[in-house]
Structure 1
Amino acid sequence: MPTEDAKHRAKRFNEGVKLLATLFNSLSIATFGAAFVVPFAQRHLDVFRDGGWVLLSAATSLHLVGQITLRFVRSED
C-alpha cells in the first residue's frame, strides 16, 4: 500500500506528463492548421505544394509523440 506522499508524488508527476502531452497535441493542431491555412492565404489550392506535406508529417509526428508521452503516466493507487 503506497503512502500518501507516494500518491501525491505520482499525482504531481502525472499532471506534468499530461501537460506535456497536451503541449505536443496543441502544437500538432497548430501545425496541421498551418498546413491548410498558409496555402489558402497564398491563394494556392494544393496543400501539398511548396512542402505542405512536411507540415502534415510534422503534425502527425507531434501527435504521436503526445500519445507516447501518455505512456509514462504512473499508477496513483
Structure 2
Amino acid sequence: TGIAYVLMNSAFPRLTTPVIGIVTFIYPVVAIIIDWALYAHPLRPTQAAGMALIALATLGVRLGWRFPIRRISAA
C-alpha cells in the first residue's frame, strides 16, 4: 500500500486532473482483484458493478468523452 501511494503521489504533478481522478479509483479495483485472486474472497455484485463503472469512466477519460451541455434559454 505504501509503495502504491508513493508511486501515485509522485506521478500527480505530471498528470492532468481527470487522469488523477481515475488513478485514485484504480487502486481499489486492484485491491478487490487481488483479494479475489489470492485469498478467494467472493466478488459481490456491488463490487463488480463498481469495477465496471470505474472501467467505463477510465475508458471515457482516455477517449475524451464529453457530456452534452444543454443551454437553457432565459424566457
Q: Please indicate the TM-score interval, normalised by the length of the shorter structure.
A: 0.3 to 0.5
TM-score, normalization: structure 1? Answer: 0.40
Q: Highest Rg: 1 or 2?
A: 1
TM-score, normalization: structure 2? Answer: 0.41
